Chain A
Amino acid sequence: MLKISLDRLDDFFARVASEQSLYMPVDREDGQAEFRKWTEGSKLSQRLNTVRSAKDFFFPQTENLVDFKIQGKNIEVLDTREECEDFAVFGVRACDARSFSILDKVFLCEPVDSYYKNRREHGVIISLSCTRPAETCFCTVFGIDPVEPEGDISCSTDGKSMFFKVNTPKGEEFVKKFADVFEDGDPAQLEKMKEFSRNVFKKLPLANLSTDSFGGDKMMKLFNSPKWAELSEACIGCGTCTFICPTCQCYDIRDFKTNDGVKRFRCWDSCMYSEFTKMAHGNPRVSQLERFRQRFMHKLVYFPSNNDGEFGCVGCGRCLTKCPSSINIVKVMKALEVEE
Chain B
Amino acid sequence: MQEKMKQRAKELLADGTVNRVMGWKKGEFGYDTTPAVFRSAEEIDKYFVCDDFTNSNLSKLLVKESKKDGVILAFLKPCDTYSFNQLLKEHRIDREKVYIIGIPGGPKLDAEIIKSKGITGITGVKNVNYTLVIDTIYGEEKMPFYEAVSVKCKSCKSKKHVIYDELIGDDGDILESDRFDEVEKLENMTSRERFDFWQRELSKCIRCNACKNVCPACTCEKCVFDNPKSGIENKAVSDSFEEKLFHIIRAFHVAGRCTDCGECSRVCPQNIPLHLLNRKFIKDINSLYGEYQAGADLDTKNPLTDYSTDDCEPSIVHERGVE
B186 within 8 A of A: no
Which residues in A have their C-beta under 8 angstroms from that of B35? Answer: 234, 325
Interface residues of A in 113-143 (CB under 8 A from B): 132-136
Given known contacts A238-B208, A238-B210, A273-B226, A134 and B123 CB-to-CB distance under 8 angstroms: no
> In the assembled complex, how far is the CB of residue A219 from the closest CB belonging to chain B, in whole angstroms?
26
Partner of B28, one of A244, A324, A330: A330
Segment 220-248 of B: residues with Cβ below 8 Å from A: 226-228, 233-238
For residue B270, which residues in chain A have a CB less than 8 angstroms away from its CB? 30, 32, 51
* Residue B269 at the chain A interface, CB threshold 8 Å: yes
- Answer whether residue B86 sits at the interface, using C-beta atoms and an 8 A cutoff: no
Q: In the bound complex, what is the Cα–Cα distance between A269 and B123 (angstroms)?
A: 33
**A89 interface contact, C-beta 8 A:** no
B117 → chain A closest CB, angstroms: 9
Q: Which one of B212, B214, B263 has the highest number of Cβ atoms from chain A below 10 Å of its Cβ? A: B214
Most buried by B among A135, A205, A240: A135
Which residues in A have their C-beta under 8 angstroms from that of B209? Answer: 238-240, 273
Which residues in chain B, 89-148, are within 8 Å of chain A measured between CB atoms?
111-112, 115-116, 120-123, 136-138
User: Could you mark each residue 57-86 of chain A with 1 if its beta carbon is under 8 Å from any beta carbon of chain B, else 0?
Assistant: 000011010000000000000000000000
Interface string of A248-269 (1 = CB under 8 A from B): 0000101010000001011111
Answer yes or no: A175 CB below 8 A from chain B CBs: no
Verify if B56 is at the interface (C-beta below 8 Å from A): yes
In the complex the two chains form, is A266's CB within 8 Å of B137's CB?
no
- CB pair B269 A51 closer than 8 Å: yes
Contact A320 B32 (CB under 8 A): yes
**Contact digits for A234-247, partner B, Cβ 8 Å, 1 yes 0 no:** 10111110011000
Report chain B residues within 8 Å CB of A31.
116, 271
B213's contact among A204, A236, A330, A331, by CB below 8 Å, is which? A236
Q: Give the docked Cα–Cα distance between A254 and B213 (Å).
A: 23
Q: Is B183 an interface residue (CB 8 A)?
A: no
Which residue of A is nearest B60, CB measured?
A236
A269-B228 Cα distance, complex, nearest whole Å: 13
A265 to B207, CA, bound (A): 16
Task: Find B137's partner among A61, A203, A270 (CB 8 Å cutoff).
Answer: A203
Asked whether A240 lies within 8 Å of B123 as measured between CB atoms, the reply is no
User: CA of A330 to CA of B236 in the docked complex: distance in angstroms?
Assistant: 30
A199 to nearest B CB, angstroms? 11
Interface residue? A173 (CB, 8 A): no
Asked if B28 and A205 make an inter-chain contact with CB atoms under 8 angstroms apart, the answer reads yes
**Cα(A233)–Cα(B25), bound, Å:** 12
* B16 is an interface residue with CB less than 8 A from chain A: no
**Interface membership of B27, Cβ < 8 A:** yes
Contact across chains for A133 and B228 when beta carbons are under 8 A apart: no
- Residue A234 contacts which of B61, B206, B263 (CB distance < 8 angstroms)? B61
Query: Does A16 sit within 8 A of B, measured CB to CB?
Result: no
Q: Is A200 located at the chain interface by the 8 A CB criterion?
A: yes
- For residue A322, CB closer than 8 A to chain B, the reply is yes
Contact B206 A256 (CB under 8 A): no
For the complex, is B252 an interface residue (Cβ under 8 Å from A)?
Answer: no
Q: Which of A214-236 contact B (CB under 8 A)?
A: 233-234, 236
Given contacts A203-B137, A234-B34, A244-B206, contact A324 B267 (CB under 8 A): yes
Complex interface residues of chain B between 58 and 109 (CB less than 8 A to chain A): 61
- Residue A181 interfacial (CB < 8 Å): no
**How many Å lie between the Cα of A324 and that of B207 in the bound state?**
14
Is A191 close to B, CB under 8 A? Answer: no
Question: Is A275's CB under 8 angstroms from B271's CB?
Answer: no
Query: Which of B37, B210, B236, B238 sits near A233, CB closer than 8 Å?
Result: B37
- Contact A275/B32 with A51-B270, A236-B213 known, Cβ cut-off 8 Å: no
- The minimal Cβ–Cβ distance linking B235 to chain A, given in whole angstroms, is 5
Query: What separation, in Å, do the CA atoms of A254 and B235 have in the docked complex?
Result: 9
- The contact string, 1 if C-beta is below 8 Å from chain A, for chain B 173-185, is 0000000000000
Contacting residues, chain A, for B227 (C-beta < 8 A)? 275
B138 touches A132 (CB 8 A): yes
User: How far, in angstroms, from A29 to B200 measured CA to CA in the complex?
Assistant: 10
B228/A244 in contact, CB under 8 A: no
A6-49 Cβ-contact flags toward B at 8 Å (1 or 0): 00000000000000000000001111101000000000000010
Contact in complex: B226, A275 (CB < 8 Å): yes
Q: Which residues of B sit under 8 angstroms from A136, Cβ to Cβ? A: 29
Residue contact A325 to B56, C-beta cutoff 8 Å: yes
Q: Which residues of A lie under 8 Å from residue B29 when comparing CB positions?
A: 135-136, 205
Most chain B beta-carbon contacts within 10 A, residue among A51, A205, A234: A234
Q: How far is the CB of A20 from chain B (nearest CB, A)?
A: 24
Quick one: closest A residue to B229, CB to CB?
A275
Structural contact, B137 and A135, CB atoms closer than 8 A: yes
A211 within 8 A of B: no
Q: Is the CB of B33 closer than 8 A to any CB of chain A?
A: yes
* Bound form: Cα–Cα A236–B33 in Å: 15
User: A62-B238, A134-B120, A252-B236 provided; 4 other pairs, C-beta below 8 A?
Assistant: A206-B28, A243-B207, A275-B227, A275-B233
**What are 21 inter-chain pairs, A to B, with CB distance below 8 A?**
A28-B204, A48-B120, A51-B269, A52-B206, A62-B238, A135-B29, A135-B120, A135-B122, A135-B136, A200-B137, A236-B213, A239-B210, A240-B208, A240-B210, A243-B206, A254-B235, A267-B235, A274-B226, A275-B226, A275-B233, A324-B267
Q: Which 7 A-B pairs have the closest CB atoms?
A: A267-B236, A324-B267, A326-B32, A265-B236, A238-B210, A30-B271, A240-B208
